[in-house]
Amino acid sequence: MFMNEYERTASCITQVTQREPYLTGEGVIVAVLDSGIDYFLPEFRDRGNRTRILAIWDQGATPNEEEGLLPPQGYNMGVLYTREMIDEALSLGREEGQKKVPVFDYSGHGTAVAAVAAGTDSGVAAAADILVVKLGAALPDSFPRTTQLMRGINFCVKLGVELNRPVAINISFGNTYGDHQGNSLLERFIDNASEIGRSVIVVGSGNEGSSNGHTAGVALTEKTVELAVAEYETGLSIQLWKYAQDIMNMTLVSPSGERIIFQLAGNSAAQTVRQRLEDTMLLCYLGEPLPYSMTQEVFVDMIPQNTYVNSGVWRIVLSPVDVVTGEYRFYLPSYAARNRGTVFFLPTPEMTLTIPSTSRRAITVGAYDVSLRSYADFSGRGYVYRYDGGRSDTVGGGQIVADVKPELMAPGVDITVPVPNGGYKKVSGTSFAAPFVTGAAALMMEWGIVRGNDRFLYGERLKALLVKGTQVLPGAPERPNSQAGWGTLCLRNSLPL
């Protein structure tokens, strides 16, 4: 079944897979770090009915040395299932085989992502080897622990080095916690991992673009931020990120008018304050700059003392005391972790990328609707940093673009994917836009590295060629921009054929 043919053609993929140079991804590893995979589906078998999966590392499985169920060498968690073990399981049939290799994908997310990137019939890199890392709890919209993800990335990169093969890594999830400037431990880890071996890391920009969970501004005078908290909210957190040199007071006002005031001075020691407003306990962490970040974090955890957080309009008042920039950014948890009516009244759609798509060296992918040739409003928006015209670092009086996120967009609306145990469904989200780019990166690596046309076609060089080949998205003609980055994926234009 040739699914998503229209999307692959719009991305200029079929133009290089169904005619010269007939790219398939052979010789390249496509690594999917996600919720697992249904390895029994034909999407992950070759024409001889053998598995195309190089290995599955189930980080949540319990090792058993007597049965030969061990973690990857150098790691102390989970179980590594090899290609030989998977083929043996396939030969036994689903019921008995899943006793041999008990890897399941309860949400279907990882299965869908792997199929788009490298499915035998529906994927972009249809002959690439697939490497699967099952991370944490496999529930819809779950996010694994940072350490699990870092170990998974490390494993994939190291295996590529050991096998002397290029690796395209796909990460199709994220959360909203962080300063969104690439400074967290995870983001910097991805930056460093991107420089090891011949690898590229692709991350979806998230689905927070229209969730109304972010607001930002400048508090040179007193500013009031209003937050609607819906009924039946069992818990909620609020993040504030600001520059440490800005001293201001923050007043939290409950729906009935009860209030508490905090002084936010970034040069003071971190502290935690407890204060009850109405029937909600506020656990407030007042942070300080860290060795890898100049920003100050203020984290407010709203804990109901009965069943639910007090619903209604909460107000956050920022009062400048001694400010330099006055810039502030508020974030709520992702849309999937809060009730639909819990939103900022005046949201800011920019800088709604989820983390770790804010990693500077990752390729960050937004989503667009191919049938409408339009930006998908849920797609996480980023930024375009420019040096101002007229300064000494300009060229010809113009502007120099310093940094762009997302770099590009790919199809992410009504994508047809297989589901565990058989059948198909349509899905939308940047989770399914990212694997189009991951698969495209694998094809580029095959053309460049495996076939010897460009031994250095990985990392930032590969990203640059992807950007070079992008096409303008109607409705967003200015390039680059915070919605579409440099434009939409067009693989044919990215290859110097």
Give the pLDDT confidence of 31-88 residue by residue, as tens digits: 999 999 999 999 999 999 999 999 999 999 999 999 989 999 999 999 999 999 999 9
Q: From 276, 309, 344, give the residue that closes a domain.
A: 344
The CATH number that applies at residue 436 is 3.40.50.200
Write down the pLDDT at residue 144: 57
- Report yes or no on 350 lying in a domain: no
**Is pLDDT above 60 for 25?**
yes
- Report yes or no on 87 lying in a domain: yes
> What is the phi/psi pair of residue 201, to 5°?
-120, 125
Average pLDDT of the chain is 92
Residues 39 and 150 in one domain: yes
Write down the pLDDT at residue 418: 96
Residues 77-126 pLDDT 10s: 999 999 999 999 999 999 999 999 999 999 999 999 999 999 998 899 99
Q: How far is CA 97 from CA 17, 39, 55, 82, 408, in A?
A: 33, 10, 15, 14, 40
Residues 336 and 312 in one domain: yes
- Report yes or no on 349 lying in a domain: no
Residues 421-451 pLDDT 10s: 999 999 999 999 999 999 999 999 999 999 9
**Distance between CA atoms of 112 and 35, rounded to whole angstroms?**
10
Compute the C-alpha angle 412/175/303, nearest 5°: 135
CB crowding 387-418: b at 16 or more within 10 Å, else e? eeeeeeeeeeeebeeeebbbbbbbbbbebbbb
- Report yes or no on 477 lying in a domain: yes
Q: Secondary structure of the chain in the HEC alphabet?
A: CCCCHHHHHHCCCHHHHCCCCCCCCCCCEEEEEECCCCCCCHHHECCCCCECEEEEEECCCCCEHHHCECCCCCCCCCEEEEHHHHHHHHHHCHHHHHHHCCCCCCCCHHHHHHHHHHCCCCCCCCCCEEEEEECCCCCCCCCCCHHHHHHHHHHHHHHHHHHCCCEEEEECCCECCCCCCCCCHHHHHHHHHCCCCCEEEEEECCCCCCCCCEEEEECCCCEEEEEEECCCCCCEEEEEEEECCCEEEEEEECCCCCEEEEEECCCCCCEEEEEEECCEEEEEEECCCECCECEEEEEEEEEECCCCCCCEEEEEEEEEEECCCCEEEEECCCHHHCCCCCEECCCCCCCCCCECCCCCCCEEEEEEECCCCEECCCCCCCEEEEECCCCCCCCCCCCEEEEEECCEEEECCCEEEECCCCCEEEECCHHHHHHHHHHHHHHHHHHHHHCCCCCCCCHHHHHHHHHHCCECECCECCCCECCCECCECCHHHHCCC
The CATH number that applies at residue 239 is 2.60.120.1290
Full residue range of the structural domain in which residue 333 is found: 214-344
- Report yes or no on 277 lying in a domain: yes
**Is pLDDT above 80 for 401?**
no
pLDDT > 90: percent of the chain: 84
Residues 319 and 380 in one domain: no
Write down the pLDDT at residue 497: 83
Residues 295 and 186 in one domain: no
Residues 290 and 172 in one domain: no
Structure tokens at 23: 């790219």
Q: From 344, 377, 405, give the residue that closes a domain.
A: 344
Residues 291 and 405 in one domain: no
**Is pLDDT above 70 for 296?**
yes
Residues 333-354 pLDDT 10s: 999 999 999 999 999 999 999 9
Residues 128-177 pLDDT 10s: 999 999 997 544 444 557 889 999 999 999 999 999 999 999 999 899 99
Residues 147 and 180 in one domain: yes
Residues 284 and 407 in one domain: no
Lowest mean pLDDT among 254-258, 392-396, 398-402, 406-410: 392-396
- Report yes or no on 126 lying in a domain: yes
Residues 163-219 pLDDT 10s: 999 999 999 989 999 999 888 889 999 999 999 999 999 999 999 999 999 999 999
- pTM > 0.75: yes or no: yes
**Is pLDDT above 50 for 270?**
yes
Residues 244 and 328 in one domain: yes
Write down the pLDDT at residue 395: 40
**Is pLDDT above 50 for 389?**
no
237 neighbors 229 (Cβ within 8 angstroms) = no
**Distance between CA atoms of 137 and 143, rounded to whole angstroms?**
8
Categorize the per-residue pLDDT at 398 as very low, low, confident or very high, splitting at 50, 70 and 90: low
**Distance between CA atoms of 309 and 105, rounded to whole angstroms?**
33
Residues 202 and 230 in one domain: no
Q: From 307, 324, 344, give the residue that closes a domain.
A: 344
Residues 59 and 80 in one domain: yes
Residues 376 and 454 in one domain: yes
Give how many domains the chain has, as a whole number: 2
Categorize the per-residue pLDDT at 3 as very low, low, confident or very high, splitting at 50, 70 and 90: confident
Categorize the per-residue pLDDT at 291 as very low, low, confident or very high, splitting at 50, 70 and 90: confident
